[in-house]
Amino acid sequence: MDFNLILSQYVVIFLAGAVGAITEDILKDNCLELPKKIGGKFFLGSLGALIIGGLAGLAIDGSLVTAFMGGYIGKSIILKLVDGQKKVVEVCDIEV
């Protein structure tokens, strides 16, 4: 197979996941959030959803439909996992 063909397939799958994530953002609160800097921290907003959704789409498999659904659901799953880790750290935080 040609390298350019393989690369273009990965780009299309990444874009399908990114579209799924943006669709989830729009359906959730009917808007897209622009990146911003608050108190020295940079928040990606919907740009972060694009990246996470695209990577989730790549992680699923080579199908456009499942890549879209992976992008749609992937952000929510990752946020729940991160939130769960924070709760575990808070519960296990012991002062010596």
Domain parsing of the chain, residue ranges: 3-92
Distance CA 64, CA 45 (A): 24
Four-point Cα dihedral 14, 18, 24, 29, nearest 10: 170
Rounded Cα gap, residues 24 and 28, in angstroms: 6
Number of Cβ within a 10 Å radius of residue 47: 15
Is residue 5 very low, low, confident or very high in pLDDT (cuts 50, 70, 90)? Answer: confident
14-64 per-position pLDDT tens digit: 999 999 999 998 998 888 888 899 999 998 888 988 998 999 888 887 889
Higher pLDDT, 1 or 64: 64
What is the average pLDDT across 65-73? 91
E strand or H helix at 37:
strand 36-38
3-state secondary structure of 62: coil
